[in-house]
Amino acid sequence: MAGRHNACVDDATAILLGALVGGLAAGSLRLPPLLGFLAAGFVLHVLGVAPVPALDTAAELGVTVLLFGVGLKLDVRTLVRREVWVTATVHLVGSTVVVAGLLVLLGAAVDALELGAGLLTGSDARALLLVGLALSFSSTVFVVKLLEERSASRSLAGRTAIGVLVVQDLAAVVFLAAADAEGPSPWALSLVLLLPGAWLLRRLLGAVGHDELLPLLGVVLALVPGYALFDAVGLKGDLGALVLGMLLAGHRRAPELSKSLFTLKDLLLVAFFVSIGLQGLPSLGELVLALFLVALLPLKALGFAVLLWAARLRRRTSVLTGVALANYSEFGLIVVAGAPAGWLGEEWLTMVATAVAAGFVLGSLPGRHPERLVDLVRRVLPDRPREALHPEDRPLDVGDAQAVILGMGRVGSAAYRRLREEYGLRVVGVESSSERCERLRARGLEVVEGDATDPELWLHQPLVDVPIVLLAMPFHGNNLDALRQLVAGGFTGTVAVVAQYDEDLRSATRAGASVGFQLYDGAGAELADRAALAAGLGGPAGA
């Protein structure tokens, strides 16, 4: 007994160290850390490290908290938009049929070579359609993680991608319920009581403090009325966490709750990515078939891009969304594992798991600058006139603004009020989040929706005559991107940038910023000024 315990501890130690080394290695190569966690899982498997029970528990908890957080940020109105539900539905059906058809053709082509032929020739059309359905889904965990790393989850491309993911998850739940001989429990109908019950949960969220009770409340809500309740009535527990988050999305403290769960969620998701690598290595035939499926991912991305472009989104928005969704989902493993008895052999699970992991690697390669991919499809997806574009995806127009602020979070909003009220300037804010735009407009601020990292936004140099531009986006890389676009366009006005760290401030100054502002230094100075005023000492000297 003690020997098994010590072996489990040793494996857990190896997993933690391997994940850390893998994450650091990926970071040194400027790759997302999740790729390092995946690689660590494969290396640990080769070294004979066994998965520990706590790893699966942490992975499941991480996915549940992630989907709860997605729900907290999700506007239900997004799901009923044509560019979301039509795109998701058409792509799901088309991808299922196309992948199944290509597998049939591949089976005929490789039969003589015996590379993966056992999987293909031993499966009928029904089984291959099931595989096509499993591979039509995109990974919610992977996509949301990438969007958050790029500070793009609230952009139009990010919101559209998350909406498509939710529709896909709902379709998968319907399939799993239909494939299960027992189906959901009749008690599933009682879940409608969550609608009036959400009122009590909202009151509880409003009453809890800002300390450790807030993230604890979030975890409990995700696991108990979310995961456990849905699981108890025969539905997917992760869907319950997502639904509960959506019921709380409109609450004033929903953003604070989501932020409080951020670090915990990221830490738990390390277990998710390591566990994929620890599942094992495929045979030669399974590897060949998995690589064939990975080679289809650009086709999957193009399919999404064409459908979104047909919904009147710009080429760049369509391509960015398609690239984000160009991966295979861990949910596909659940679909394969949950297939009715006799449909698929166990070897399909290993092959699909390999395709999922390899797809994550490929999906991370475009990084934050997929503009080359946008240029590649220029002939397939030509430009449209401004009036023919989706209203939320039209080029930026700031009129005769005297100051423009890119990023209208707390810092940007405070700067907006200061420039307008103290200096009498006509100020326009630019924000990628439509929800934040609506809130700020309701408070009387002039804000336009736009993605400052979009190169097409700068084609007509909309800010060339603006005297002052403030860069206040939360992700420093986005501020640098916008700064470089301004410098490349010959901007001669004043550029001010907000930075959280000293090294970020220095890099912005080297890139051409006129003046920089270290967030914590500024907060301390402002606090001292307010304290002096409250004590009757007057304003700062020289003011």
Per DSSP, 281 falls in state P
| Residue count (the chain) | 543
Residue 249 is predicted with a pLDDT of: 85
Q: Is the pLDDT of residue 363 over 80?
A: no
Whether residue 350 is found in the same domain as residue 399: no
Q: Is the pLDDT of residue 420 over 80?
A: yes
Which of 376, 408, 428 is the last residue before a domain boundary? 376
Of 69-73, 351-355, 412-416, 523-527, give the range with the top mean pLDDT.
412-416
Euclidean distance between CA atoms 12 and 56, whole angstroms:
12
Could you give phi then psi for residue 533, rounded to 5 degrees?
A: -65, -40
Whether residue 452 is found in the same domain as residue 499: yes
Whether residue 459 is found in the same domain as residue 340: no
State the alpha helices, DSSP H only, in 180-248: 194-207, 213-221, 229-232, 237-247
When pLDDT is averaged across residues 176-205 and rounded to a whole number, the result is 78
Q: Is the pLDDT of residue 92 over 90?
A: yes
Helices 82-110, 156-179: crossing angle, 10 deg rounding: 60
Instruction: Report if residue 385 sits inside a domain.
Output: no
Structure tokens at 349: 């699970």
Per DSSP, 108 falls in state H
**Residue-wise pLDDT tens digits, 30-80:** 777 777 887 888 888 888 888 788 888 888 888 888 888 878 877 777 777
Whether residue 421 is found in the same domain as residue 349: no
pLDDT band with cut points at 50, 70 and 90 for residue 182: low
Higher-scoring residue by pLDDT: 122, 59:
59
Of 274-283, 385-394, 502-511, 520-529, give the range with the top mean pLDDT.
502-511
When pLDDT is averaged across residues 14-31 and rounded to a whole number, the result is 85
Which of 346, 376, 406 is the last residue before a domain boundary? 376
Whether residue 372 is found in the same domain as residue 402: no
Instruction: Report if residue 390 sits inside a domain.
Output: no
- Say which CATH number the domain at 499 has: 3.40.50.720
Q: Is the pLDDT of residue 508 over 80?
A: yes
Please, what is the average pLDDT of the chain? 80
Whether residue 349 is found in the same domain as residue 207: yes
Q: Is the pLDDT of residue 91 over 90?
A: yes
Whether residue 459 is found in the same domain as residue 336: no
**CA 55 to chain centroid:** 23
Could you give phi then psi for residue 7, rounded to 5 degrees?
A: -65, -40
Higher-scoring residue by pLDDT: 485, 298:
298
Q: Is the pLDDT of residue 349 over 60?
A: yes
Instruction: Report if residue 214 sits inside a domain.
Output: yes
Whether residue 303 is found in the same domain as residue 369: yes
When pLDDT is averaged across residues 125-145 and rounded to a whole number, the result is 85
Residue linked to tokens 């990926």: 26
- Identify the domain containing residue 296 by its residue range: 2-376
Residue 80 is predicted with a pLDDT of: 78
**CA 292 to chain centroid:** 26
Residue 455 is predicted with a pLDDT of: 63
Euclidean distance between CA atoms 35 and 141, whole angstroms:
13
pTM of the model: 0.69
Euclidean distance between CA atoms 178 and 91, whole angstroms:
21
pLDDT band with cut points at 50, 70 and 90 for residue 112: very low
CB 374 within 8 A of CB 305: no
When pLDDT is averaged across residues 467-495 and rounded to a whole number, the result is 86
Instruction: Report if residue 476 sits inside a domain.
Output: yes
Total of domains in the chain: 2
Instruction: Report if residue 389 sits inside a domain.
Output: no
- Say which CATH number the domain at 258 has: 1.20.1530.20
Instruction: Report if residue 362 sits inside a domain.
Output: yes
Instruction: Report if residue 386 sits inside a domain.
Output: no
Whether residue 242 is found in the same domain as residue 269: yes
Q: Is the pLDDT of residue 181 over 50?
A: no
Q: Is the pLDDT of residue 116 over 50?
A: no
Instruction: Report if residue 333 sits inside a domain.
Output: yes
Residue 362 is predicted with a pLDDT of: 81
Euclidean distance between CA atoms 505 and 482, whole angstroms:
15
Structure tokens at 289: 């078939």
Segment (H or E) for 368: none
**Residue-wise pLDDT tens digits, 299-336:** 999 999 999 999 888 888 888 889 889 999 877 776 77
